[in-house]
Amino acid sequence: MADKLRLALQKSGRLSESSLRLIEECGIHFAHHDAKLRCPAHNFPLEILFLRDDDIPRYVADGVAEAGIVGENVVGEAEVEVAVLERLGFGQCRLSIAVPRSMEYGSLTDLQGRDIATSYPVLLQRHLTANGVEARIHEISGSAELAPSIGLADAVCDLVSTGSTLLSNGLREVETVITSEAVLIAGSSLPEATQSILERLRFRMKAVRRARSYKYILLNVPNDSIETVSQILPGMKSPTVMPLAIEGWSSVHSVVHEDEFWEVIDKLREAGAQGVLVSPVEKMVL
Ligand code: PRT
Ligand code: ZN
């Protein structure tokens, strides 16, 4: 299929809403009905397939869809040939090993010969092997956190985000196997026309992601501070400077990364900036 890109998203679950929001923010619109399995976009050559997250890597590898959005944990566990193209900045979690709080734990070797319950046998086995530890892995389909209390296992290996599930089940997180977030994946050898649609989609996703981490900033500065302020606020090339109606003052516009935002604001105030206005950036196209 060359005239459309089929993109697999999680039908209903933790990644669904953020995945759909990302597509919408890329300016791609579609009529979304909960009951539907596939849904064409109105204004971009894209068709969305709604699937269970565990099926997405396999469907992308088999060419049922050309691309997909899924957690890195699911990609790693699936052991199929797909390329990870973009990290998408949502669905963050980690796959961790946890043990009962009463158990003494110094290092992974304490799990030698023990029983571990998990829904991620591939990733867990790889981690144990890499550390020279042999343990019995019990594959279960969910609720791994219950396994120690019902006597099924000595430890668990499960996804953690806040840690409250482990805590309320008397477990202690002792080891991170992988960290994970939602990623854009694609099949390895796509036809040229499909590849070019995928590149257009990636370009938009990058612009949306970049915009999310920047703020647009406007401020007034006395003219003799413009140089200092320009050094604090490099912007994309250099800040825009425009004269104010009041003699001796200018308005400076630029963008600031959220990681350094407050630090930059403090420096700007020290440099004499006034009337600082900050607003979100909708798209940032380079
Ligand atoms: O029906 P389908 O198969 O599509 O969905 P699913 O039930 O298999 O997956 P879903 O919707 O629960 O998760 C989808 C993806 O979200 C996962 O593959 C991860 O990439 C990501 N993700 C992020 C998480 C979590 N955070 C998370 N906390 N997936 C699951 N959890 C669970 C975890 O398994 C544990 O039960 O939440 C609990 C722990 O949460 P805390 O906050 O108490 O630590
Ligand atoms: Zn699943």
**For residue range 96-130, what is the model confidence (pLDDT) as tens digits?**
999 999 999 999 999 999 999 999 999 999 999 99
Residue 236 has pLDDT above 80, yes or no: no
Instruction: For the beta carbon of residue 240, count every other beta carbon within 10 angstroms.
Output: 12
Cα separation, 240 vs 250, in Å, equals 10
Cα separation, 224 vs 248, in Å, equals 8
Going by CA atoms, what residue is nearest to atom 31 of ligand 1? 159
Residues with CB under 5 A from ligand 2 (ion): 53-54
Mutate which of 84, 159, 178 for ligand 1? The one with the most ligand atoms within 8 Å of its CB, which is 159
Any bridge partners for residue 100, and if so which?
Answer: 171
Rounded to the nearest angstrom, the distance between the alpha carbon of 174 and the centre of ligand 1 is 19
Q: How confident is the model over 42-61, as pLDDT tens digits? A: 999 999 999 999 999 999 99
Q: Is the dihedral of CA 255, 261, 262, 264 positive or negative?
A: negative
Mean local confidence (pLDDT), 122-139: 98
Q: Which ligand is nearest to the CA of 73?
A: 1
The answer, yes or no, to whether any atom of ligand 1 lies below 6 A from the CB of 14, is yes
Closest CA to 95 of 43, 33, 159: 159
Share of the chain above pLDDT 70, in %: 99
Q: How confident is the model over 268-284, as pLDDT tens digits? A: 999 999 999 999 999 88
Going by CA atoms, what residue is nearest to atom 6 of ligand 1? 13
- pLDDT band (50, 70, 90) for residue 189: confident
- pLDDT band (50, 70, 90) for residue 32: confident
Any bridge partners for residue 222, and if so which?
Answer: 249
Any residues with CB less than 8 A from the CB of 40 and at least 6 apart, and which? 4, 30, 46, 47, 48
The answer, yes or no, to whether any atom of ligand 1 lies below 6 A from the CB of 146, is no
- pLDDT band (50, 70, 90) for residue 234: confident
The answer, yes or no, to whether any atom of ligand 1 lies below 6 A from the CB of 54, is yes
Mutate which of 17, 54, 69, 93 for ligand 1? The one with the most ligand atoms within 8 Å of its CB, which is 93
Mean local confidence (pLDDT), 226-252: 90
Any residues with CB less than 8 A from the CB of 138 and at least 6 apart, and which? 115, 116, 117, 118, 147, 152, 153
Cα separation, 173 vs 95, in Å, equals 10
**Mean pLDDT for the chain?**
94
Cα separation, 45 vs 154, in Å, equals 50
Q: Which ligand is nearest to the CA of 167?
A: 1
CB 60 within 8 A of CB 185: yes
Closest CA to 70 of 90, 48, 95, 97: 90
CB 25 within 8 A of CB 208: yes
Q: Which ligand is nearest to the CA of 88?
A: 1
- pTM exceeding the 0.85 threshold for the entire prediction: yes
Cα separation, 17 vs 115, in Å, equals 36
The answer, yes or no, to whether any atom of ligand 1 lies below 6 A from the CB of 250, is no
- The pLDDT assigned to 237 comes to 81
Helix (H, G, I), strand (E, B) or coil at 210: helix
- The pLDDT assigned to 2 comes to 55
- The pLDDT assigned to 199 comes to 97
CB 184 within 8 A of CB 86: yes
- The secondary structure element, H or E, covering residue 139 is strand 136-139
